[in-house]
């Protein structure tokens, strides 16, 4: 774990691929690459494992955050552009409520 106050370093996709390919294709040892790039050997070994399993695309940065929800899911609309939209929304809401009540009545 890095010492307090040292920022977390991020490595570009191109540099990761370059380092791993030097190890895999050119046969340069992990310890030499670690010294040259001021990295821990375990990090290079982890990158190499990902590279061997998924190719260079596996070392690409991952998308962060929650995936966008599907259309219509999530928080209900509050600002409607027309009266028809408001009524359609209210109608759909009431249909859902009726369906829930029918299921409860069946139980």
Alpha-carbon span 11 to 26, nearest angstrom = 21
**Residue 19, pLDDT score:** 95
**Residue 104, pLDDT above cutoff 80:** yes
**Residue 96, pLDDT score:** 93
Q: What angle do CA 85, 88, 89 make, to 5 degrees?
A: 85
Q: What confidence tens digit (pLDDT) does each residue in 32-84 have?
A: 999 999 999 999 999 999 999 999 999 998 888 877 765 555 565 567 778 88
**Residue 99, pLDDT score:** 92
Give me the percent of the chain exceeding a pLDDT of 70: 85
Closest CA to 23 of 37, 10, 13: 37
């Amino acid at each position: 774990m890095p010492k307090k106050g040292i920022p977390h370093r991020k490595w570009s996709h191109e540099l990761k691929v370059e380092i791993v390919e030097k190890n895999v294709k050119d046969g340069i040892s992990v310890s030499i690459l670690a010294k040259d790039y001021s990295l821990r050997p375990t990090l290079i070994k982890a990158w190499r494992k990902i590279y061997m399993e998924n190719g260079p695309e596996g070392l690409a940065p991952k998308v962060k955050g929650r995936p966008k929800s599907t259309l219509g899911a999530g928080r209900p609309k509050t600002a409607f552009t027309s009266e028809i939209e408001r009524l359609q929304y209210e109608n759909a809401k009431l249909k859902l409520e009726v369906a829930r009540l029918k299921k409860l009545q069946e139980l």
